[in-house]
Amino acid sequence: MAKQSKAQQETVERVMHEFKHHELKANGGRTVRNPKQAIAIALREAGASRDESPKKNAENLKRTKGRERIADAGAKATRADLYAEAKRRNIAGRSKMSREELARALDA
C-alpha cells in the first residue's frame, strides 16, 4: 500500500473511530457492521482507494475535508439534516418549511 498523507491518515482514523463506536453509516443509512466495508469506506473518503483514479481520489479527499471543516466549525446544519431530524420527530408541515423554519420547529 502506498504511503498516505497526514490528511488521509486523519480521515481513515476518523472513519474507523466512527465504525468502532457504531456511528458509521452506509449509503442506505444503515450502520456498518462489517470491518472490511468500514475499511473500504475509510479509504474511499480519504482518497486512498486503489480502485479509483488519482483524479477521483483527489476529488474524494477534497470533498471529505470540506465536510470535516464545516462540521468542525460548528456550522449550521443543512436543510436536509434538519428535515431528517424533523421527519424522525414527526413534525407536521416539514416538507414546506425553509431551513430557518425547520430549525425553529426543532428548537420548540
Q: What are the pLDDT tens digits along the chain (108 aa)?
A: 568 889 999 999 999 999 999 999 988 889 999 999 999 999 999 999 888 999 999 999 999 988 887 677 655 678 888 898 899 899 999 999 998 898 888 887
The whole-angstrom separation of Cα 13 and Cα 33 is 17
| Per-chain mean pLDDT for the chain | 88
Q: What is the pLDDT of residues 6-21, one digit of tens each?
A: 999 999 999 999 999 9
User: What are the domain boundaries of the chain?
Assistant: 6-72, 77-108
Cβ–Cβ under 8 Å, residues 19 and 32: yes
The full DSSP string for 30-87 is: PBP--HHHHHHHHHHHHT--TTS-HHHHHHHHHHHHHHHHHHHTTPPPPHHHHHHHHH
pTM: 0.63
